[in-house]
Amino acid sequence: MAKEFELTDAMRSRIGDQSPPWTHEVTTTSVRAFARGVGYTDPVYFDPEAARKAGYPDLPAPPTYLGTPVFIPGVCSDTFSGPVEGRPTVDHGLKGLLDGGTETEYHGRICAGDRLEVVTRLADLTVRESRSLGKMLIVTQETTYTNQHGERVATQRSQVIHY
């Protein structure tokens, strides 16, 4: 529990930093696997003909599925598959970690066959106090997903809480 914690100028200077672009692929196999894994049964996620009848060019990505990051050994995180180098980080020294939630805003359609360029930006840093955890650093990141046609199709905002 951190009783004292202050944002430094060095930490604040990281706001706006962004990752290098990374590719996420949306394939028929990955759409089916994700839909099956979360229990969706709508045929549009499994049958291309049902998807076309519903107005999609191919299987649509289920809610919250934004493709699978392309994995390159030695370059990618073994845990999250995205790039290890260049991700925006803040050196804060706090040991505790909590997921503060994620919200996804859709701007367009995502379907099998899409290749998404993904960029994560450090959007904000705030300090709050909790009775049980003490001072907490809340890191807000914004990730944009742009398809192969240059159209932004989704934005995710997520928060990580360090304490």
SS (H, E, C) the chain: CECCCCCCHHHHCCCCCECCCEEEECCHHHHHHHHHHHCCCCHHHCCHHHHHHCCCCCCECCCCCCCEECCCCCCECCCCCCECCCCCCCCCCCCCEEEEEEEEEECCCCECCCEEEEEEEEEEEEEEEECCCEEEEEEEEEEEEECCCCCEEEEEEEEEEEC
Question: 79 is in which domain, residue-wise?
Answer: 9-25+70-162
Residue 143 banded pLDDT, cuts 50, 70, 90: very high
Count of domains for the chain:
1
Tell me if 134 is assigned to some domain. yes
pLDDT for 1 equals 64
Residue 144 banded pLDDT, cuts 50, 70, 90: very high
pLDDT for 84 equals 83
Tell me if 3 is assigned to some domain. no
What CATH number should be reported for the domain holding residue 21?
3.10.129.10
